Structure 1
Amino acid sequence: FARYTARDRGVVGGIGQRVPTFGPFGFANRTPIQGLWLVGDSTHPGEGTAGVSYSALTAVRQIEVATR
């Protein structure tokens, strides 16, 4: 599975979920680097198909606002 995920030993699920890195405290989509946005299981709102999909949708909406 590591071959497909490109992660150490094929680990999935993002970083370990702890209070400081979970839900509203998770990593934001926007970064301090212009043009670099984050999406996926390690960003807000978190793991799973729904979480990752919502993360991408949130980033797209933020990009749309930022480029107006």
Structure 2
Amino acid sequence: MIPLVALIVSQPGMADRLLAQHRDDGTGHCATCQLGAQAGRHRWPCSIFAAATEAEEVRARDASEQ
């Protein structure tokens, strides 16, 4: 598991917050991730959204194994 996913899994509620913040802005770009001064936004899904999605999958898998 990559470190970012492990961090998200270890923090209760973090995946939900990240998924809510890093959403498609309606133009195919992340509503949160900026490229820099007036350069626009990252394409969606951004890497943070992907990591949060993976963290939710890990958490669900771990819950089903218990």
**Structure with the larger RCO, 1 or 2 (CA within 8 Å, 6+ apart):** 2
Name the TM-score, length of structure 2 as normaliser. 0.35
Whichever structure has more strand as a proportion of its residues is: 2
> Structure 1 length normalisation: TM-score?
0.34
Determine which structure has the larger helix proportion and give its number. 2
